[in-house]
Amino acid sequence: MIRVIVCGAYGKMGREVLKAIHNDTQLSIVGAVDVKSDFTDIGDLIGAGKTGIIVGNDLQTVINETKPQVMVDFTRPEVVLNNIRIAMKNGVCPVVGTTGLSDKDREEINDLCIQTKVNALIAPNFSIGAILMTKLSQDAAKYFPHVEIIELHHDQKLDAPSGTALHTAELIAKNRGYLEQGHPAEVEKLPGARGGNFSGIRMHSVRLPGYVAHQEVIFGGLGQTLTIRHDSISRESFMPGVVLACKNVLSANGLVYGLEKLLDK
C-alpha cells in the first residue's frame, strides 16, 4: 500500500481526493492537512464513519507523525510551493493539482528533484478527458494553425487563464510556433476584449457560478471550423487521474509535468 497524505483536505477537491484514495485498494490515507482544521476525523468529511485519522493543521507535523510516501496538494497558489518544499525535503513525493505555479517555480521544483532525489508530478488537469483534449489540440494545430481557447470555470477560481488553458497553448505553440492572428489593424474598444495572448493564441476566461471546469479549443480554416471541447460535470472526473498519479509518482524520473506523460505507460 502506498502511504498518502492530502493537503487542502477541507476543500471541495480535497474531500474528493480523500474519498478516492480511501476507496482504492492500492492506496492508503495516513494523514491530512488543512490550515482551517478543527481536527476532524477524515471519515466525517467523506461519510465513511470514524477512521481515527485526524486532519492536522501543520504539514511538517503530519509528515513527522504519519511517514507518508506521497503528498497530494489541492490548496492555494500562495502556499503550494512551500508545501512542495517541505514534502520533498522530507522524502515525500508531491502530486500537485493546485494551479498558479510559474515557470520559475517549476525550475525550483526540478532542482529540488535533483537535489533530494525525490520525484514530483504537477498536472494542470487530472481529468483523462481534458488530457485527451490537449493532445488532440496539439495534433490539430499542425493543420489548423489559427486557434483560440475559451475556458470556463466556477466563480471561486483564483487564477486566469486556467492551468489547463495555458498548458494547451504551450503544446499547440510547440507544433505551430508563433502566429499573429486576426486583422493586423484590429482595435480593442474595450481593453482585454480579445483576451490574453500566448504565442499569438488568444485565450478567454469565463467565471460564473454553475460551472465546474470546461474548455473549448476552436480552430479556424478556409470555409470551416473545428472545435474540441471537454466538460468536467463534477469533481469526480479528476479522481482517476489523481489515483493514477499517486500510483506512478514513486517510480517516475524527477519532475513530471502533465498527466499525459503517464497515459502511455
| Higher-confidence position of 27 and 184 | 27
**Model confidence at 261, in pLDDT bands (50, 70, 90)?**
confident
Cell numbers that stand for 124 in this block? 494542470
* Residue 158, pLDDT above cutoff 70: yes
Choosing from 12, 157, 247, 261, which is the catalytic residue? 157
Any idea what DSSP says for residue 163?
H
- Please check whether residue 21 is in contact with residue 246, taking contact to mean a CB–CB distance below 8 angstroms: yes
pLDDT of 48 > 70? The answer is yes
- pLDDT (tens digit per residue) in 180-189: 999 999 999 9
Is 214 tagged catalytic? Answer: no
Q: What is the pLDDT of residue 260?
A: 86
Does domain 128-233 correspond to CATH entry 3.30.360.10?
yes
**DSSP for 95-116?**
EE------HHHHHHHHHHHHHH
| Region of residue 182 (phi > 0: left; psi between -120 and 50: alpha; otherwise: beta) | left
Per cent of the chain over pLDDT 90 is: 91
Higher pLDDT, 118 or 100: 118
For the question of residue 204 being annotated catalytic, the response is no
- pTM confidence score: 0.83
Contact 58, 66 (CB under 8 A): no
**How many Cβ atoms from other residues are within 10 Å of residue 156's Cβ?**
8
Grid cell at residue 140: 490539430
Catalytic choice (19, 22, 146, 153): 153
What is the dihedral sign for C-alpha 118, 124, 130, 132? negative
Asked if 34 and 73 count as a contact pair (C-beta separation under 8 A), the reply is no
Which CATH number applies to 2-122+236-263? 3.40.50.720
Torsion angle of alpha carbons 261, 26, 93, 53, nearest 10°? 140
Q: Provide the residue ranges of all domains of the chain, joining segments of one domain with +.
A: 2-122+236-263, 128-233
pLDDT at position 85 is 98
Q: Averaged over 99-120, what is the pLDDT?
A: 94
